[in-house]
Structure 1
Amino acid sequence: MKKLVVLTGAGISAESGIHTFRDSDGLWEGHDVMQVATPEGFEANPKLVLDFYNERRKQLLELHPNKSHYNLVDLEKNFDVDIITQNVDDLHERAGSSNITHLHGELLKVRSSVDESIILDWNKDLVLGDFCSKKSQLRPHIVWFGEMVTMLDKAVEITKKADVLAIIGASMQVYPAASLIDYIKPNTPIYFVDPKPSISESNFKNLTIIANVASLGTQKLKKLLNN
């Protein structure tokens, strides 16, 4: 069974009602990302940061996977599928995908402020005074700007094994995630699903562009891969 590695970004969750991580004006849900997505922001105003992610968590719990998430689950019938996602939602999990690596953390988890190996499932509000077993404040399990993408090495190893690479709803402009395409084997087929593709056939060999939103694009991807 061929290994299909799928790199997903904000575009795959947009049809579920999740806004992109950062708008063109540099704001995330009306907030300066430096205030709510950096260690310095958390140190300066932890309550603001916790409240911000509490709202994002509540929104996520009200949303559902869309057709594109389920199309990727369907591909597991004929491929060994590994999903590497830049998204912090759990929509791939809820749709039923088997192998998911979150590069930028998970909104429905929290971790210790002093020991990042202490990670807890969390689907309620996180407030000041919620401590880990080491008596330290819990924080969102999100990779903030300036922090190491600890899952990158695992993602690189997965990408190296790809027989086919599909990129869905990812701008390919956010690093280090965008660098994963450099690790595929020579002549590996690449499929790029995005209504406004940021790369072209002149950039990569064996590239097929599907210029559609994720739900329609993944439907076309299924047909192409299963032919």
Structure 2
Amino acid sequence: MPAGPSLPHNPSIRRWQVKANPANYPEQLTEKESGLFWMKVNKAGPWPLQKNCQGKCWTWTAGRVNEGYGRFYLRGGKPLAHRLSYVLRNGSVGDELKIDHLCRNRSCVNPDHLEPVTDAVNTRRGRLPLVAGKSMLARTHCPRGHLLNAPNLRADDVKHGRRGCLSCARARSKYHDFKRRGIILDPDDFRRVSDAFYREIMGPEALETP
């Protein structure tokens, strides 16, 4: 019996990451297949935190791979549920493209929350920014002890889900301005400048301890 297609030998490459087989992602399902697929979907899932998503997440309720993506047994194959959902709505996708979750919910199969992207874009948007974002949201103070709360938050950071200290950002701008004029601030000077901006933003008693 001839051997089937082999998987990459690199153990870090998971089975679901192997090059997508278009035959596993038909643009149409039979009535029975469609019924089996959609009975595994809960369309009353959670609302996504991301503002660029419309509607609730459609949660895959059946089997998933270890990384959290849904998997559907279809015609002898095991296509990823979210990719199949996207293909059923929008047509076939080149196997060089990944289907990215705009909602950051890997169990979601709502095609409105999915976007085909290159592997590089998918990696850049993936788990590392998500973990970093959670860590950033958990911060209450910057390294210099300034409260990370409005109005001491950079507007651009808030827009992108980050929490950056506005006082320290203004101090860095002042530092570079001094540096261009040949004046170098030492760490204590930098702290005094950033604290001055913090009092200006949060009030003159902002850094006073009770």
Q: Shorter-chain TM-score category?
A: under 0.3
Q: TM-score, normalised by structure 1?
A: 0.24
More strand by share: 1
Q: TM-score, normalised by structure 2?
A: 0.25
More helix by share: 2
Task: Please tell me whether Structure 1 or Structure 2 has the larger radius of gyration of its CA atoms.
Answer: 2
